[in-house]
Amino acid sequence: MSDPVHEALDHRDPEGARVGMWLFLLTEMLLFGGLFLLYAVYRGRYPHEFASAGKELSHVFGIANTFVLLTSSLSVACCLTALQKGQKRLCMTLLAVTALLAVTFLVNKWLEWGAKIHHGLYPGGPGLIGRPPGEVLFFGLYYSTTGLHGLHVLAGLIVLVVVLGLVAVDRVTPDDHVLLENAGLYWHLVDVVWIFILPLFYLTV
């Protein structure tokens, strides 16, 4: 820490920061890729059971959350443009809106999981006992995938709030905004993954 030569490097190369972020996003996609691979194999093996299990998920929650996330992607994209144009206050407002939408998503998810668990639809739960293996696997994958995605929403939320703070204290500025840009990229990734989750789990029929 005593060494400004090495410390300074982090900020000198925004292009490098972007390269690093895209590589990181690649690893995130591959992380979810493993789950999607399992989904593909099991859906191929149990097509009817996946279809019938998918009917039990709530379209209302799924589509509401899609709307929430897509709107948040719009607001995070706008906040970058706002900062680039020097409108710090607008940027902060839009970031706050994005963070609020992230919270909304998580609350929805909480209610949705709660309803499922209330009906005993969880791994080893009474609602799943005696069901065919395809349906058990469907719910196993549903909880793993949306759970991992939920953790990413949470991580994204924390990042957004931190960046909001950094914009407020002028550590992220119109001239040096790669951090905000990268936070936005991460948020878009969270969104993109959800775009795949929605049809795979909620729209199986």
Partner 1 sequence: MSQHEPAGADARSYLDRQGAGGLWSWIGSVDHKRIGVLYLTLMVTMFWVAVTIGILMRIEQWTAGPTIMQPATYNGLFTVHGVIMIFMFVVPGLPAVFGNFFLPILIGAGDVSFPRVNLASWWFFVTGALLAVLSLFTGSGAPDTGWTFYAPYSLRTGTNVSLAVFAAFVLGMSSILTGINFITTVHRLRAPGMTWHRMPLFVWALYATGWIQVIATPIIGITLLLVIAERFFGIGVFDPAKGGDPLLYQHLFWIYSHPAVYVMIVPAMGAITEIIPTFARRTIFGYKAIAYSSLAIAAFGSIVWAHHMFTSGMGEAANLVFSLFTFIVAVPSAIKVFNWTATLYRGSIELAPPMLYALTFIFLFSLGGLTGVMQGALALNVHLHDTYFIVGHFHYVMFGGTGFAFFAALLYWFPKMFGRMYCRATAVVAWVPLFVGFNLFYFSMLVLGLMGMPRRYFDHLPQFHTGHSVATVGAFVLVLGLAIFFGNLVKALFRGERAPADPWGGRTLEWTLSSPPPVENFAAIPTITGGPYAYNPGRKA
Which residues of the shown chain bind partner 1 in the complex (CB under 8 A)? 1-3, 5-7, 9-10, 13, 15-17, 19-20, 23-24, 26-28, 30-35, 37-38, 41-42, 46, 122-124, 132-134, 136-137, 140-141, 143-144, 148
| Residue 44 half-sphere exposure toward CB, CA atoms < 13 A | 6
Amino acid letter, 87? Q
| Residue 176 half-sphere exposure toward CB, CA atoms < 13 A | 11
The minimum distance between CB 90 and partner 1, in angstroms, equals: 30
The minimum distance between CB 139 and partner 1, in angstroms, equals: 8
* Angle, alpha carbons 182-155-83 (nearest 5°): 35
Closer residue to partner 1 (CB): 61 or 143: 143
Closer residue to partner 1 (CB): 82 or 177: 177
The minimum distance between CB 19 and partner 1, in angstroms, equals: 5
Closer residue to partner 1 (CB): 27 or 170: 27
Closer residue to partner 1 (CB): 60 or 117: 117
